[in-house]
């Protein structure tokens, strides 16, 4: 289970400071009109955020590699997003939600301690530059790409180190632009490009090494 953090202690991407002067949500419920505003806000939030539930769940599944934790993280993400919905200034809801989700997942990584790297953000670039894997030299089998079924592909992606797994999922499954990925991961676009290049090279060598359905 994920620790439920008080929303006041959230560090939110980009919009964090904008919430500083906002009244607590509880106070807004005091009056009838405030209550109506809350309901109206919740309704607008539903329309804007719920269409991205599958994307959020997919990212959480791949990052946390555990369905129960992923569900908790997505729920926490949506609650936080609702609280900060007033400061949401668009235009794209999906990257905004996924940024929050990533923060929630990082908190979960911190809780898990040493089992996973604390977070992709905390990974220094030095660590990322260290030879985690050997670039496949031009070996005969790496020239072609084997056919792999969906389950094998999922397993291969899940086996990538978290910073690379994240960039692959955001790009290939969540279908986000480099700019959006950079915002979510809190790194420059250039870093997104180099990470993605490494992530794909790692995935490709694992892909070709895996037992495929057809050679």
Partner 1 sequence: MNCAECEVLLHALIDGELDAGHASEVEAHAADCAACAQKLAAFRAMRESLNAANLKEAAPARLRGRIEAALPAPTQVIAAGKFARPSRRSFFGGFAAGTAISAAVAASLVLTVWRTDRERTIADEVVSAHIRSLQPGHLMDVETSDQHTVKPWFDGKVDVAPPVIDLTAEGFTLLGGRLDYIDGEPVASVVYRRRKHIINLFVAQRLGSAHDFVSARTIQGYNVRHWSAQGLDFWAVSDLDSVELGEFVGKISAALRPNGPS
Residues at the site binding partner 1, with contacts judged by CB under 8 A: 32-33, 35-36, 38-47, 50, 53-58, 61, 67, 71, 74-75, 78-79, 82, 90, 138, 142-145, 147-150, 153-154, 157, 171-173, 177-178, 193-194, 196-197, 200-201, 203-204, 207
- CA 212, distance to chain mean position in Å, is 28
Query: What's the min distance (Å) between Cβ of 145 and partner 1?
Result: 4
What single string gives the DSSP state of each residue in 20-56? TTPPPHHHHTSSHHHHHHHHHHHHHHHHHHGGGHHHH
Q: Which is nearer to partner 1, 6 or 113 (CB)?
A: 6
Distance CA 168, CA 92 (A): 20
Cβ pair 2, 111 in contact under 8 A: yes
Query: Which DSSP state fits 73?
Result: H
Compute the least distance from the CB of residue 108 to partner 1, in Å.
Answer: 16
CB of 96: closest distance to partner 1 in angstroms? Answer: 14
Q: How far is the CB of 112 from partner 1 (least distance, A)?
A: 21
- Give the nearer residue to partner 1 in terms of CB position, either 47 or 125: 47
Q: Between 122 and 133, name the residue whose CB sits nearer to partner 1.
A: 133
Minimum CB distance to partner 1, residue 104 (Å): 13
DSSP letter for each residue of 80-97: HHHHTGGG---S-HHHHH
Instruction: CB nearer to partner 1: give 19 or 75.
Output: 75
Among 53, 55, 74, 54, CA closest to 64: 74
SS3 assignment, position 108: helix
113 or 139, CB closer to partner 1? 139
């Amino acid at each position: 289970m994920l620790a439920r953090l008080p929303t006041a202690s959230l560090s939110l991407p980009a919009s964090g400071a904008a919430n500083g002067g906002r009244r607590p949500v509880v106070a807004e419920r005091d009056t009838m009109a405030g209550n109506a505003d809350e309901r109206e806000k919740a309704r607008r939030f539903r329309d804007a955020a719920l269409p991205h539930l599958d994307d959020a769940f997919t990212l959480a599944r791949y990052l946390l590699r555990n369905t129960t934790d992923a569900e908790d993280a997505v729920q926490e993400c949506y609650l936080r997003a609702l609280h900060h919905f007033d400061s949401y200034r668009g235009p794209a809801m999906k990257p905004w939600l996924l940024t929050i989700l990533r923060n929630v997942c990082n908190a979960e990584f911190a809780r898990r301690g040493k089992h996973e790297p604390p977070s992709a953000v905390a990974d220094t670039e030095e660590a990322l530059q260290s030879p985690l894997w050997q670039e496949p030299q031009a070996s005969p089998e790496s020239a072609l790409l084997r056919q792999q079924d969906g389950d094998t592909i999922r397993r291969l992606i899940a086996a990538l180190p978290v910073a690379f797994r994240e960039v692959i999922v955001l790009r290939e499954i969540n279908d986000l632009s480099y700019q959006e990925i950079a915002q979510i991961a809190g790194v420059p676009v250039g870093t997104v490009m180099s990470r993605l290049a490494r992530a794909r090279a790692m995935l490709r060598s694992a892909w070709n090494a895996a037992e495929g359905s057809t050679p």
